[in-house]
């Protein structure tokens, strides 16, 4: 998709963040159908990823910005999640992201939409947290907080509790997703505007926190790491080779 002087390639464009960025990019540049190419793509299939990138290059000649946005979530206890669902989650959220990272053109801007869950794990979402955390060192990642997209209602796999009475923290998580309009207060349009700005930065960050909840999680994690380092510092005083 061509927006002004940029050609965007966006996965997961049909809803949520991807749709918001697609609409903004088209608003900034020329209109459909001259500048929009819609492709069917399963990011878990490397051969489809390769074909999709080739199709975009054939149509527009280049790719300036790739927004890797395909992903979904699982709500369940660790021990209550089926291996099939857990593996499928990593196929999309990790391996799908890794396939597009390998295909993304040199010199272009590659942005991966991750989550604040990669910073701070949550009860009932451990598998999702792990799948978002594992991409932190790959490319420029965006760590959105509680934005109101279709993730809590559509792009979500839920499994019944494996215990008779879930823990209070797990129950809180279930309740939050059952009334997502209250908890998920981020505006996807503002997210899209941030992605448009990020695509033009000369020196982009490796990590971009985006939501007050993400900022709080990062600051809390930083304080936690400082406390750990200070508390256990004495254990590292005499572990080096004597040369």
- Domains plus CATH for the chain? 8-230 (3.40.50.720)
* 3 state SS of 144: strand
User: What pLDDT was estimated at residue 133?
Assistant: 82
- Per-residue CA distances from 36 to 13, 25, 49, 108, 200 (Å): 12, 10, 18, 19, 20
DSSP letter at 78 equals G
pLDDT of res. 36: 81
Residue of 43, 55, 57 lying closest to 101 (CA atoms): 43
Check residue 228 and give its pLDDT: 96
Looking at residue 160, its pLDDT comes to 55
Burial class of residue 108 (count of CB atoms within 10 Å of its CB; 0-12, 13-18, 19+)? middle
Q: CA-CA distance, 239 to 102, in Å (whole number)? A: 39
| 0.85 surpassed by pTM | no
pLDDT in tens, 180-214: 555 667 888 888 999 999 988 988 888 889 888 88
pLDDT, residue 229, reads: 95
Bridge partners (DSSP) of residue 140 are 111
Residue stretches of the chain with pLDDT short of 70: 1-5, 30-33, 137-140, 144-184
């Amino acid at each position: 998709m061509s927006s002004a002087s940029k050609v965007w390639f966006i996965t997961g464009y049909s809803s949520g963040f991807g749709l918001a960025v697609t609409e903004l990019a088209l608003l900034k540049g020329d209109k459909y159908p001259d500048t929009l190419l819609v492709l069917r793509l399963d990011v878990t299939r490397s051969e489809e990823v390769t074909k999709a990138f080739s199709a975009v290059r054939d149509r527009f000649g280049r790719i300036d910005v790739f927004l890797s946005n395909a992903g979904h979530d699982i709500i369940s206890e660790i021990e209550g999640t089926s291996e099939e669902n857990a593996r499928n989650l990593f196929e999309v959220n990790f391996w799908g992201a890794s396939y597009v990272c390998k295909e993304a053109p040199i010199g272009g801007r590659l942005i991966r939409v991750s989550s604040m869950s990669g910073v701070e794990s949550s009860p009932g979402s451990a598998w999702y947290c792990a799948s978002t955390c594992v991409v932190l060192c790959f490319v420029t990642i965006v760590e959105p907080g509680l934005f109101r997209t279709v993730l809590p209602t559509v792009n979500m796999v839920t499994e019944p509790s494996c215990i008779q009475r879930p823990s209070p923290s797990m129950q809180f998580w279930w309740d939050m997703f059952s009334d997502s309009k209250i908890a998920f207060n981020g505006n996807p349009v503002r997210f899209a505007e941030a992605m448009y700005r990020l695509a033009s930065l000369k020196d982009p960050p490796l990590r971009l926190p985006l939501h007050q909840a993400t900022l709080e999680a990062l600051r809390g994690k930083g304080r936690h790491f400082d406390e750990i380092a200070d508390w256990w510092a004495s254990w590292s005083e005499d572990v080096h080779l004597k040369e």
